[in-house]
Amino acid sequence: MIRRPCLAACATAVLLALAASITSAQVAPGSVFDPATGRDLSAWPPDRHFDHLHMRLELDLPDVVNEPTATGRVTLTVTPLGRERGTLVLNAEGLRIDGVAVGRGSATRPAPFIHADDLLTITLNPAARLGETIRVEIDYAIEQLRFDGTGLSWSPPARRPSNASEEVPMLHTQGQPEYARRWFPCHDFPNERLATELIVTVDSDFQTISNGLLIDRRATSDGRTRWHWKQERPHATYLVSLVVGKFDVVEVGGPESARPGLDMPVYTPIGTAANAARAFAHTPEMVAFYERYFDEPYPWDKYAQTIVRGFQAGAMENTSASTFNAFAAAAGRDALEDIIAHELVHQWTGNLLTCKSWEHLWLNEGWASMGEALWAEEAARLEAVARGATPDETDAAMRRAYHRAIHGSFVGQRSGNRGAAPDLPALASNRYIDPETNFMKLDNPYGKGACILHMLRARLGDSIFLEGVRLYIKRHRFGEVETDDFRKALEDVSGQSLERFFEQWVYRPGIARFKVDLAWTGPDEGPGTLSVRAEQVQQIDADNPAYAVTLPIYLSFPDGSGDYHYLVTDARVAETAFELPARPTDAVVDPGLHVLADYAVTKPIAWWLRQLEAGPTFAARVQAAEHLASIDDPRATAALADADPEVLAAAELARPQPAAAR
């Protein structure tokens, strides 16, 4: 999910700025208990006393235009886990519960219940036996649809409508993280999944969009329309979706597309179909690419993308039916490409595999952000092939596009993440009170998650990393995952022990910060010594030991050759010396972003000028531009005047901004 209606390329920076505004009351500060009461402040997943197999939700919207209310019946098919169970507890917030019945076989009987503190507690008499499957029917009402973008929200007509879609109300749902309970009773946590059906009755002037396939649509006796959507493969409740409105429909798939056989409708405000057709045109190529990359067919029956009014985030990956903020109706392909890729990747990493708790949210969002960079890499390949580029030119274009995309995640963490234990939660942490804050903390699941995936790709190599990713998906498809599930898959294919890596990057807050001094001793021509001193200058103490890293340094030489040398350290200060046959023309610290660190590098200005002009990666050239812009030297000014505009733009984005501008 993109949490705000901004371009995906800016999402990390925006989220980090939002994170700075999170108050200490929203996270568990310091130790994980309240010393005044002894209460544990950590958030733990709720028990799964029942396996939820299926939900049939019948929802009636009597008058979408004038009366934002709804009545519904949820029928849950469940079976007990562990032992017989006499009580079923569901989340139900802001709903009026009118009655509950329990069905066994063909018999259905009313059941006693208590609805208090947003929990619906249903007594089963007799208790459900182990191995028995029962039906629980709940009649309820939403007496006032919400207006805040959570649960089932109603958006009024636009004050100055510009098209027929804006002349009437629109409804949409938002279940993530725990808002499904606001529009139907359920086990509202990602450690459970079930098949779902939505049967929605609305005014005949309106369309509905939901998960899965539309298996029936018929007129009712009162002149309205009954829509029946069926999602057969199980998914988490926060991914259950409903949209009601008036739309143009554009099919971007089809038999001649890159991914025939999969319906890919785009529901867009009336009058914006032509723009939607252009902006979402690459969706089939994206589906085909991610299928190849993950070695896993697209898991759902269709892929709909719907642009709605009143949506409070940028986009949301509801199963088979992503929802987009209204800005997408007028946005061009360049503005939407990353967001489309982000939500599509979630159909695998987030929906096919779902984080077992919000503690492991980075497995969802980090992968979706990494997927943006992977698509940038693939799109560069497709473009290079189309223009007849050589293999070397194609590889260079792919590397540049990928590094340019992933660099933004590193920028966000370098500029905004100064977290340290125990005061702030780590990337994977159950120290939260409101799950919303997990999306916006400094150890951000989007940006830091993507950085970690990139570091693993760099450490293991493309082929081993990809083999591990595919094993992870095959092992856990249609299941719930934790960070260790991913680690173990990578370990099983690589033979490497990755516990220390995950401990310091996933389970510990903050990033590394290095002061690196590079000095040459020897003649300008001929052999000599490159001395390297690297000091970690972030907070180091008993809770935050020095990072264990292998620091790559890329050396270029006058004959045009170049190679890597490495400094291995797990101490505050590390020093080494490399005996070299010639003085380097440049020495670049970590040009491939192998370490999530901020670097302050001291070296001759001639090396900085060379790095700006011919650094081995996009990130290396941006690093040089940042440094040269910070010094008062006419050589730096002249070099920047002739530099690659994309590099300069990225350097400006990377430069720390005044607090008021963030």
Contact residues for 444 (Cβ-Cβ < 8 A; gap 6+): 12, 15, 16, 19, 412, 413, 417, 427
Q: What is the pLDDT of residue 39?
A: 87
Q: What is the pLDDT of residue 67?
A: 86
Q: What is the pLDDT of residue 603?
A: 98
Query: What kind of fold does domain 8-42+353-505 have according to CATH?
Result: Neutral Protease; domain 2 (1.10.390)
For 232-287, how does the pLDDT look when each residue is reduced to its tens digit (9 = 90+)?
999 999 999 999 999 999 999 999 999 999 999 999 999 999 999 999 999 999 99
Asked if pLDDT for residue 659 goes beyond 50, the answer is no
Rounded to whole angstroms, the Cα distance separating 51 from 56 reads 15
At residue 416's C-alpha, the angle toward residues 412 and 420, to 5°, is 125
> DSSP string covering 64-129, please?
TTTB--EEEEEEEEEEESSS-EEEEEEE--S-EEEEEEEEETTEEEE--EEEETTEEEEEEEEEEP
Confidence of residue 649 (pLDDT cuts 50, 70, 90): very high
Contact 124, 80 (CB under 8 A): no
- Can you tell me the mean pLDDT for 102-124? 97
- Can you tell me the mean pLDDT for 548-559? 97
* CATH code matching the domain that covers 50-244, chosen among 2.60.40.1730, 1.10.10.10, 3.50.50.60, 1.10.3720.10: 2.60.40.1730
Q: What is the pLDDT of residue 396?
A: 96
Rounded to whole angstroms, the Cα distance separating 491 from 475 reads 14
- Can you tell me the mean pLDDT for 294-305? 98
* CATH code matching the domain that covers 512-661, chosen among 2.60.40.1840, 2.40.10.120, 3.40.50.2000, 3.40.50.1860: 2.60.40.1840
Contact residues for 387 (Cβ-Cβ < 8 A; gap 6+): none
Asked if pLDDT for residue 62 goes beyond 80, the answer is yes
Rounded to whole angstroms, the Cα distance separating 158 from 163 reads 9
Does residue 178 or residue 31 have the better pLDDT? Answer: 178
Q: Would you give the DSSP letter of residue 29?
A: -
Confidence of residue 27 (pLDDT cuts 50, 70, 90): very low
- Can you tell me the mean pLDDT for 199-211? 97
Confidence of residue 34 (pLDDT cuts 50, 70, 90): confident
Q: What is the pLDDT of residue 653?
A: 55
Q: Is 243 helix (H, G, I), strand (E, B) or coil?
A: strand
For 407-450, how does the pLDDT look when each residue is reduced to its tens digit (9 = 90+)?
999 999 999 899 999 989 999 999 998 999 999 999 999 999 99
Q: What is the pLDDT of residue 581?
A: 95
| Lookup result for tokens 């970590």 | 590
Q: What's the mean pLDDT when you consider all of the chain?
A: 93
Asked if pLDDT for residue 102 goes beyond 60, the answer is yes
Which residues make up the CATH 2.60.40.1730 domain(s) of the chain?
50-244
- Can you tell me the mean pLDDT for 76-82? 98
Confidence of residue 333 (pLDDT cuts 50, 70, 90): very high
Q: What is the pLDDT of residue 9?
A: 37
Asked if pLDDT for residue 29 goes beyond 60, the answer is no
Phi/psi of residue 610, nearest 5 degrees: -65, -40
Q: What is the pLDDT of residue 16?
A: 40
Share of the chain above pLDDT 70, in %: 94
Which residues make up the CATH 1.10.390.10 domain(s) of the chain?
8-42+353-505
Confidence of residue 8 (pLDDT cuts 50, 70, 90): very low
Token output for 428: 């994977």
Q: Would you give the DSSP letter of residue 160?
A: S
Asked if pLDDT for residue 629 goes beyond 80, the answer is yes
Q: What is the pLDDT of residue 12?
A: 39
Residue 383 amino acid letter: E
For 346-362, how does the pLDDT look when each residue is reduced to its tens digit (9 = 90+)?
999 999 999 999 999 99
Asked if pLDDT for residue 658 goes beyond 70, the answer is no
Contact 82, 49 (CB under 8 A): yes
Phi/psi of residue 228, nearest 5 degrees: -125, 110
> Listing from the earlier edge strand, what are the strands of the sheet with 549-556?
562-569, 549-556, 586-589
